[in-house]
Amino acid sequence: MNPVDYLRISLIDRCNFRCQYCMPEGAELEYILRDSLLSRDEIRVLLQEVFIPLGFRKFRLTGGEPLLRPDVVEIVADIAQLSETQDIAMTTNAYLLADKAQALHNAGLRRINISLDSLDPENFDKIIGNRGKSRWQRTWQGIQTAYEVGFNPLKLNVVVIPGVNDGEVLDLAALTLNRNWHVRFIEFMPIGNASLFQDRAWIPSEELRQQIRDRWGLESGNVTGNGPADVFQIPGAKGTIGFISQMSECFCDRCNRMRLSADGLLRPCLLNETGQIDLKTALREGKSLSYLRNQVGDLLAIKPEINYKMRDSGTENGFYDRSMSQIGG
């Protein structure tokens, strides 16, 4: 059993994209009011006084889209300055990244994951639900700027959707040939848009690996990170290719993370809310920090049971009322 030392922190439940696999089509989402979000000070207190004493050392900032949070640079700096922090990373869609990349790097952020589901501007806009001026170029500029600033590793996350972007697998893999970029293909999950999942299902990672083997060959690779990706490399390539295979090759029993939502709910699992804790309410009601630590400690104690339960049951029953953007990815 891997030690649980990795916390994903959602800073905001809003997103400036409306990706097919993340948000229900046509649905109007109820967003969290600003005063109901965990504040910068509350995040810092929870990390310093609750999570770090319980062994958490690795942190990832997510959303929604975390760059929509006005104080995101300051939050990065707070976490980076904690002496116990071993790793701080962020997941973003990069649309706002060009203007913020240098400030984030200066604040202490070193690793970044960027969602990029298509290299074709028209298909890209279709996937993200954009019907106005194309957002492709600004997103691509955000990726380029992050690379120039020095984020390493720079990972590009691709959710592979049958009939939508599965024909671009080789083009996306080719980004790793001459750039020190790390492309990660993610199996489509039944969260946020269950009807799309039922209509089109998902493509097993092994099928994608075979496409790449047939074109270039594929060998074992390595890249810094705390996630579940199986990492490979095209022979001679500068970057790597990862596969996150939560549907075909369940890795629940190896899970080393918990998730803190933007409104302060601590979840032991993306697909299982068993034992979730409302840390924000407890904090605002004046509960002691030792009480909060005990609550989180109790949840940590049952996480191995949840992990194995999810491994044995699979993910087919993991439908959420909240969209992926509201859960925190």
Report yes or no: 177 and 235 within 8 Å, Cβ to Cβ. no
Domain ranges of the chain: 6-327
User: What's the average model confidence in pLDDT over 69-74?
Assistant: 98
Query: Tens of pLDDT along 284-316?
Result: 999 999 999 999 999 999 888 876 566 555 444
> What pLDDT is stored for residue 21 in this prediction?
72
> What pLDDT is stored for residue 315 in this prediction?
44
User: What's the average model confidence in pLDDT over 158-172?
Assistant: 94
Beta strands 154-160 and 181-187: pairing type? parallel
Query: Tens of pLDDT along 192-244?
Result: 555 555 555 789 999 999 999 999 999 999 988 877 889 999 999 999 999 99
49-63, 150-164, 185-199, 302-316: range with highest mean pLDDT: 49-63
- The DSSP code sequence of 217-240 is --EE-----SS--EEEE-TT-SSE
The CATH H-level (homologous superfamily) assignment of domain 6-327 is Aldolase class I (3.20.20.70)
> What pLDDT is stored for residue 265 in this prediction?
96
**Bridge partner list, 184:** 157, 242
Q: How many helices (H) and strands (E) does the chain have?
A: 11, 12
Q: Which residues of 302-318 are buried (b: 16+ CB within 10 A; e: fewer)?
A: ebeebbeebeeeebeeb
- pTM listed for this prediction: 0.90
